[in-house]
Structure 1
Amino acid sequence: MSTTDSTVTAQPVVFHHLTFLDEGDEVTVGRPDIDDYVHLPSDGAALLRRLVDGDTPDQAARWYHSTYGETVDMTDFLDTLNELGFIADDPAEVVAAPTVRWQRLGAAVFSRWSLIPFTVAVVAMIVILTQRPDLIPHYSHAFYTPSLIVVMLTLFLGQFPFLFLHEFAHALAGRRLGLKSRLRVSRRFYFIVFETSMDGLVSVPRTKRYLPILAGMMSDLLATAVLICLAAWAGGLVAGVAMALALGTVMRMLWQCYFFLRTDLYYLVVTVLGCKNLHATSRDLLQRRIRRLFGRTVPEPLPAAEVDRKAARWYSWLLLLGYAAMIFSVGYVVVPSLVFVTVEVVTRISQSAPVPMVIDSLVVAVLVIGQFVVAGLLGIRERRLNRSPN
């Protein structure tokens, strides 16, 4: 807080609806209607509270001086608050606490009572898998039909409802807390993805953030349980489609264990521990360990908060576990699937299979190989751009 003298006005300041979350030395203050939040020191937040409660700047400045023994530059302080959008230029334009749609639906979906069907479905899946090990998701479940094109369409189109369900669960769990969570369609590389924005999550107590963070994984687990139960009950083509979709859902759940990425589990750890930038700190520590192991020069560690340095001592090892999970998923599903498709295509062509099956195989071969070629070219292009001096 600045400690210079200044001339202050005697008129109260009009504010939009603000939220305050005390987190020890810092207080998170923000406007939930526009999802704009800032961290203020505790004394600055206390001064702002006085203004919001109706003190004039002159009164708030005198209170600050009597409480903290310093003179505050109220002009500078008010200019900062105005830049943040906290101050209303006209009392008629004051934005009150925003109303959030689907808050009741979120409260119902994530109530204690909803744990009953969720638990029943998961327990039922576990019982079925103990009695039917053949229903444990395996790469072979993807090829439930001789048509490879149908397999690819099932895996490609069938993933979107479950991707939407994953992100919608995040958004709905945020709405339950009155947050303006938003679900939008975006892309990563050339993949269409759903993304959830929950900027307002920083404005609620830490323990209330866990459910919105885990909601997506909970929906994945529920979807897997329902699909496996459906496969065990229905059989036939329905079972084949259900197991193919279950395989894709399990793969996405395994992806959450890629700790070298910022997945839901990463944000859970960061939230529980109150870290600032655990990802960068852990990567830096792991790289320095590797350089030390090979006898190379070890650079100075990156600047980091103490809580990040402490957590990185063990979280950096989870990065290696994440790489192991990725290798497992590639070896368990991706590579066997590619080998199966390759052998199937070669066999059909060499054994003069019916023309429709040959065309089916060639189309799939082009699509499968093509996506890896495109990904490789994009990777090379990105690397060249990163190396470019401009």
Structure 2
Amino acid sequence: MTQLTRTVRLHRLTMVDEDDGVMVGRPDVGSYAVFPEEGAQALRMFADGVPVDEVGAWYERTCGAPLDMADFLETLADLEFLRTDEEADAPGTVRWQRLGRAVFSWPAWLAYAALVAGAVTAMVRDPGLRPTYHQVFFTDYVSLIPVTIFALAIPCIVVHEGSHALAGRRLGLPSTLGLGRRLYYLVAETRLDSLLSVERKKRYLPFCAGMLADVVLFCGLTLLSIPLDGHGIPSWIHKLCLAVAFTCVLRLIWQFLFYLETDLYYVVTTAARCTDLQNATRFRLRSGLRRALRRPPTGADTEYSPRDRSVARWYAPLLVAGYGFSLASLAWAGLPTALHFWSTIVDRLGGAETSFWELFDAAVFIALSGSQIALLVHVTLRDRRERARSRTTTAPQGALP
């Protein structure tokens, strides 16, 4: 069979109309690209078994210019859209799809509403249940506070990220959990690139599912603390429930830091019909800086959609202000706090009268701090390698912290 008369076998692809073309993707491997309508129609013809030469002839009749079929097929191979005879097609269902549908069913929504109503009523009646930073100090043993809260925050974070994943899987979309970085913050994140396979109105729930989980956890822990107060139960257990509930409030506040690509960032950019606003804005800022320094530009911004370039004009000041706020916070509080901790550690290690437990405490602090720094470096280098290997032309919609 010649190159022109053969047919092309494709994996199962999704196609979603966007402002600047058709988003074509393969959800099982997270590969997506925006095609013009004619290119998307050529893929539909391939999927229907139309030979390559007939597709090329149709394209030339429609567009008035020949299609470079060799280049087109190479692009499809790079995107992993082509399927060989040995490859099986991607499965039509994903694991945990039924659980995802149950978690976001109408009975579940009614239960969540009842839980929230109960917690709000309890906080109105008892001001001591309302979230405040004082709840963090659930014990007089200060060293136990960060360790205990961190350990108990981990399952809460798993619930947050798992809610993102289940909200996507209820739509039959695959997802992965992992670690990511936002500026100098390490975050857990859910990769939901597959949301590009569905229309925009269906993306909002997966984006907001983590915040919903935080609200439910906060209300549940607040209500749980009530029967644990008194009745011969140690008071620290009641206080610990409120301390963990307070961390849920902090996660909700975190989502409003748009510039760190939080859950609400994806809600806003989806509503604004943007595809890659963050990188388009960064490109705009880099280009402006190079112009100010009278240096040649690094390239054109044509890889970003007209909508991204338009919205980037007003988003750029917000991005700069946000990063400035984080860096100022680091200089004002983060670095002095770290300096205080490390100076204390140095004094303990060099002190002649340092007790065994003080040395042990210093060693644990060094180990924890070192592992956190090493993990941050690892994630940073990993992300750079992934960007270098990236072959798609779209943003990773839905890396949700």
TM-score, normalization: structure 1?
0.74
| Matched-pair contact (CA < 8 Å) for 2:20–2:305 | no
Give the whole-Å Cα distance in 1 for the aligned partners of 2:136 and 2:322. Answer: 24
| Matched-pair contact (CA < 8 Å) for 1:167–1:196 | yes
**One-letter code aligned to 2:53:** D
Q: 1:134 aligns with which of 121, 128, 133?
A: 128
Matched with 2:14 is: 19
Query: Would the alpha carbon gap of residues 103 and 307 (structure 1) be closer, same or farther in structure 2, given more than 3 Å must change?
Result: same
| Matched-pair contact (CA < 8 Å) for 1:32–1:98 | no
3-state SS, counterpart of residue 93 of structure 1: coil
3-state SS, counterpart of residue 66 of structure 2: coil
Give the whole-Å Cα distance in 2 for the aligned partners of 1:321 and 1:134. Answer: 36
1:32, CA displacement in angstroms? 2.5
Query: Would the alpha carbon gap of residues 365 and 124 (structure 1) be closer, same or farther in structure 2, given more than 3 Å must change?
Result: farther
Give the whole-Å Cα distance in 1 for the aligned partners of 2:157 and 2:286. Answer: 33
Q: 2:141 aligns with which of 143, 147, 152?
A: 147
1:217, CA displacement in angstroms? 0.9
Give the whole-Å Cα distance in 2 for the aligned partners of 1:287 and 1:33. Answer: 34
Query: Would the alpha carbon gap of residues 111 and 326 (structure 1) be closer, same or farther in structure 2, given more than 3 Å must change?
Result: farther
**One-letter code aligned to 1:262:** E
Query: Would the alpha carbon gap of residues 141 and 367 (structure 1) be closer, same or farther in structure 2, given more than 3 Å must change?
Result: farther
1:362, CA displacement in angstroms? 9.5
Matched, 1:224 2:223: no
1:83, CA displacement in angstroms? 3.3
**One-letter code aligned to 1:308:** D
The CA deviation string for residues 133-175 of structure 1, in whole angstroms up to 9 with x for no partner, is 2222222211112222332222110110001111111111111
Query: Would the alpha carbon gap of residues 23 and 287 (structure 1) be closer, same or farther in structure 2, given more than 3 Å must change?
Result: closer
> Which consecutive unaligned segments of at least 5 residues does structure 2 have?
230-234, 345-353, 381-401
3-state SS, counterpart of residue 143 of structure 2: helix
Query: Would the alpha carbon gap of residues 278 and 189 (structure 1) be closer, same or farther in structure 2, given more than 3 Å must change?
Result: closer
1:80, CA displacement in angstroms? 2.7
Give the whole-Å Cα distance in 2 for the aligned partners of 1:163 and 1:268. Answer: 20
The 5 A counterparts of 1:295-334 are 303=301, 305-312=305-312, 315=315, 319=319
**One-letter code aligned to 1:120:** A
3-state SS, counterpart of residue 13 of structure 1: coil
3-state SS, counterpart of residue 12 of structure 2: coil
The CA deviation string for residues 165-192 of structure 1, in whole angstroms up to 9 with x for no partner, is 1111111111111111112367889987
Query: Would the alpha carbon gap of residues 145 and 365 (structure 1) be closer, same or farther in structure 2, given more than 3 Å must change?
Result: farther
3-state SS, counterpart of residue 14 of structure 1: coil
More moved, 315-324 vs 124-133: 315-324
| Matched-pair contact (CA < 8 Å) for 1:21–1:203 | yes
Matched, 1:108 2:108: no
| Matched-pair contact (CA < 8 Å) for 2:25–2:196 | no
Identity percentage over the alignment?
38
| Matched-pair contact (CA < 8 Å) for 1:147–1:360 | no
3-state SS, counterpart of residue 220 of structure 1: helix
1:20, CA displacement in angstroms? 1.7
1:313, CA displacement in angstroms? 5.3
Matched with 1:196 is: 190
Give the whole-Å Cα distance in 2 for the aligned partners of 1:33 and 1:204. Answer: 14
Give the whole-Å Cα distance in 2 for the aligned partners of 1:288 and 1:62. Answer: 41
3-state SS, counterpart of residue 213 of structure 2: helix
Query: Considering only CA atoms, is the larger Rg found in Structure 1 or Structure 2?
Result: 1
The CA deviation string for residues 245-283 of structure 1, in whole angstroms up to 9 with x for no partner, is 012121121111122211111111112212244335557
| Matched-pair contact (CA < 8 Å) for 1:24–1:42 | no
Query: Would the alpha carbon gap of residues 228 and 362 (structure 1) be closer, same or farther in structure 2, given more than 3 Å must change?
Result: farther
Matched with 2:75 is: 80
The CA deviation string for residues 337-364 of structure 1, in whole angstroms up to 9 with x for no partner, is x8xx99xx9xxxxxxxxx99x9689949
1:34, CA displacement in angstroms? 2.1
Matched, 1:33 2:28: yes
Q: 1:71 aligns with which of 28, 51, 66?
A: 66
Give the whole-Å Cα distance in 2 for the aligned partners of 1:300 and 1:217. Answer: 43
How many residues are aligned here? 353
Matched, 1:157 2:151: yes
Matched with 1:278 is: 277
1:104, CA displacement in angstroms? 0.8
Matched with 2:113 is: 119
**One-letter code aligned to 2:194:** G
Matched, 1:56 2:51: yes
1:67, CA displacement in angstroms? 2.7
1:194, CA displacement in angstroms? 3.3
1:228, CA displacement in angstroms? 1.3
More moved, 203-212 vs 116-125: 116-125
| Matched-pair contact (CA < 8 Å) for 1:286–1:317 | no
Matched with 2:396 is: none
Give the whole-Å Cα distance in 1 for the aligned partners of 2:247 and 2:274. Answer: 32
**One-letter code aligned to 2:52:** P
Matched with 1:385 is: none
3-state SS, counterpart of residue 148 of structure 1: coil
